[in-house]
Amino acid sequence: MSDTKNAATLANMQITDWTDFGLFAAVARAGALAGAARESGLSQATLSRRMTALEHRTGRRLFMHGTQGYTPTAEGRALLERAKKMEAAARDIAHWSAAQSGPPRVRISAGTWTSDLLARTLPDYWKPDAPWTPEFVTSNRDLDIERREVDIGVRNRRPTHPWLAGRRTGNVEQAAYATSESVAGWIGPGDDNATLPSEVWTITHHGARLTAISEDPAIRMALARGGVGRVVLPTFAGDSVPELVRVSDVIKTLTSEQWLVCHQDTRHDPAIRAALDALAQGLRHTHPLHETDQGPTLRAP
């Protein structure tokens, strides 16, 4: 095949397979068609056909099929690393396109209560003339910073991946809250849906005494405010609700560090750097570091 024909074929693949590479990444991450179907909105049959066609076009076996589901081969893992970069570039382009005017948007992910705190106290650490626009994404799972799902994540532990940088902002303590000490029952998630440390603790210690169940932390707080039962909350959230009082000491096993995490490649971007400084100021005011703790510094693991 001539160099000209090779170049034309490569250019055609880059255009026609952009979407298929994204679908491939979804299948490879899920390890099965079902999970990728939920993420992409396509049927399992369509994904199967697209993956087979992609293997034919690339001339490489990308998955090991059978009882192991869709486990990436060595070639598949190599392609996944490249597909992640494509996804990150696509998200960057989407963010650029969405930011029609004004300061760049900085996407910040945090759990339910930290997102609520950051929203309520925004004027304390951000002003309209700041060189960045806050865009909050509430999620109790770690969104993928490498794929640029978000720019900054508020996490409960130091980052360990070499492509991430972290700045410690303080500690988060948790306790049980209710409308009064006389409230005996507990509010928690279903047995099969406990993922947060506070949820696991509630099921482990009080699973037999649940008077109400919800997967939504905000609904659990609403139930507690209505006097239905006790609920475990971060102290910065529980202490701010007039209807609730602490009905336990701080639960030491649930105390965690708090970190701001971003990608190594973007930590010196002016907008993200300004957002990191502002968020650190806002969070340290609520979750102060103890004197024996290290100060907040942005660095790789």
pLDDT, block means (10 residues), the chain with 301 residues = 47 60 88 82 87 89 79 91 83 68 87 93 94 90 77 92 91 97 94 85 94 94 97 96 97 96 91 95 67 45 50
Sign of CA dihedral 165, 168, 169, 173: positive
For the entire predicted model, the pTM comes to 0.64
CB 95 within 8 A of CB 66: no
> What are the tens digits of pLDDT across the range 214-247?
999 999 999 999 999 999 999 999 999 999 999 9
Structure tokens at 295: 């100060």
**DSSP class of 200:** H
Give the sheet arrangement for strand 133-138, strand by strand.
133-138, 105-110, 152-155, 256-263, 164-172
Longest dimension (CA), the chain: 83
In one-letter notation, the amino acid at residue 146 is E
